[in-house]
C-alpha cells in the first residue's frame, strides 16, 4: 500500500493538496487550442473547486462555448527540486452556481474579491470534478476518480454553521487562532483570522499570508468542530 498519507490513500493526499491552494492554473479551450490562465481558487466543504470569474475574461468566453476545464494544483513551492513535490491535475466541467453560501465562502477566503464580486459581469463557478491525476513525487503517480477525490459525507450541517463558527472564533478566540498559527504552523505575524472550516481542517489568513491546519479526524457537525478546535487549542498550548 502507498505511504503517501498516514492511511495510504492517494485521494486523501490529493484532497489535502486541493484544500490548501489559494490559486490555480485554469486550462480552457480557445477554439480548440489550449488556453491557460491564473485564477483564484477556494475548495468547497466537499472539496469541489470554486472559481470567481469575469465574463469579460478570455477564459470565461472560452467556457461559454465549452465548459470542459482542467486545473493544476501546485504544491511544489517549498521543495528545492520542484519535481519531487506534489501536484494535482483535475479534469471536469464548470457550472455557474448562485448559492449565497458558496459566494460567502469564496469572499471569506479572498477578502479583496468583495470589491468586485457583486459586479454584474462576475459569476461564481463550481467545477464538477470527473478525474484527478496526482503526482506525489517520482514514481508516485495515481489517477483518481472524482467520486473518490471529493469528500462524500453529508456536509450540510457544518456548511450551515460555518459563518457562525468563523465569527465566534474571530471575535472571541483570536488568541487561540494566533496560537494555531504560531505554535502549530510556525507562522509569525499578528492579526491571524480563520477564513474557513470544512470537515478536514481550517483555513487561516493574516494580511496576504494564508495557512492550512488539518484536523486529526473529519468533523461533520458544529459540536464535533468545537471539540476539534478545542483539541487544537490545547495542543498549541503545550
End position of a domain, from candidates 118, 149, 180: 149
CATH number at residue 228: 3.20.180.10
Is residue 97 domain-shared with residue 36, that is, in the same domain? yes
129: left (phi over 0), alpha (psi -120 to 50) or beta: beta
Beta bridge partners of 68: 93
The answer to whether residue 5 scores a pLDDT higher than 60 is no
Return mean pLDDT, the chain: 94
Is residue 45 domain-shared with residue 20, that is, in the same domain? yes
Domain membership of residue 4 (yes or no) is no
Q: How many domains does the chain have?
A: 2
Beta bridge partners of 89: 72, 133
**If residue 52 lies in a helix (H) or strand (E), which one and from where to where?**
strand 49-54
Is residue 188 domain-shared with residue 167, that is, in the same domain? yes
The answer to whether residue 2 scores a pLDDT higher than 70 is no
The answer to whether residue 24 scores a pLDDT higher than 80 is yes
Q: What is the pLDDT of residue 161?
A: 98
Domain membership of residue 3 (yes or no) is no
Q: Which residue range forms the structural domain that includes residue 123?
A: 10-149
The answer to whether residue 4 scores a pLDDT higher than 50 is no
pTM of the model as a whole: 0.94
Q: What is the pLDDT of residue 7?
A: 57
The answer to whether residue 1 scores a pLDDT higher than 60 is no
Question: Mean pLDDT over residues 77-84, rounded?
Answer: 84
Amino acid at each position: 500500500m502507498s505511504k503517501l498519507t498516514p492511511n495510504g490513500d492517494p485521494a486523501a493526499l490529493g484532497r489535502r493538496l486541493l484544500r490548501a491552494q489559494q490559486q490555480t492554473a485554469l486550462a480552457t479551450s480557445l477554439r480548440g487550442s489550449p488556453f491557460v490562465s491564473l485564477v483564484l481558487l477556494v475548495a468547497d466543504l466537499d472539496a469541489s473547486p470554486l472559481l470567481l470569474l469575469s465574463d469579460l475574461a478570455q477564459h470565461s468566453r472560452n467556457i461559454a462555448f465549452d465548459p470542459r476545464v482542467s486545473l493544476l494544483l501546485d504544491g511544489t513551492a517549498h521543495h528545492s527540486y520542484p519535481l519531487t513535490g506534489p501536484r494535482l491535475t483535475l479534469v471536469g466541467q464548470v457550472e455557474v452556481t448562485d448559492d449565497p453560501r458558496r459566494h460567502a465562502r469564496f469572499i471569506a477566503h479572498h477578502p479583496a474579491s468583495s470589491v468586485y464580486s457583486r459586479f454584474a459581469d462576475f459569476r461564481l463557478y463550481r467545477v464538477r470534478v470527473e478525474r484527478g491525476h496526482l503526482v506525489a513525487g517520482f514514481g508516485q503517480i495515481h489517477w483518481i476518480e472524482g467520486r473518490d477525490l471529493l469528500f462524500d459525507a453529508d456536509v450540510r450541517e457544518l456548511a450551515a454553521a460555518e459563518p457562525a463558527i468563523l465569527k465566534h472564533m474571530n471575535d472571541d478566540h483570536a488568541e487561540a487562532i494566533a496560537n494555531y498559527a504560531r505554535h502549530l504552523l510556525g507562522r509569525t505575524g499578528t492579526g491571524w483570522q480563520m477564513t474557513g472550516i470544512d470537515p478536514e481542517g481550517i483555513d487561516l489568513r493574516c494580511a496576504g499570508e494564508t495557512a492550512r491546519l488539518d484536523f486529526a479526524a473529519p468533523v461533520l457537525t458544529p459540536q464535533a468542530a468545537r471539540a476539534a478546535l478545542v483539541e487544537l487549542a490545547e495542543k498549541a498550548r503545550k
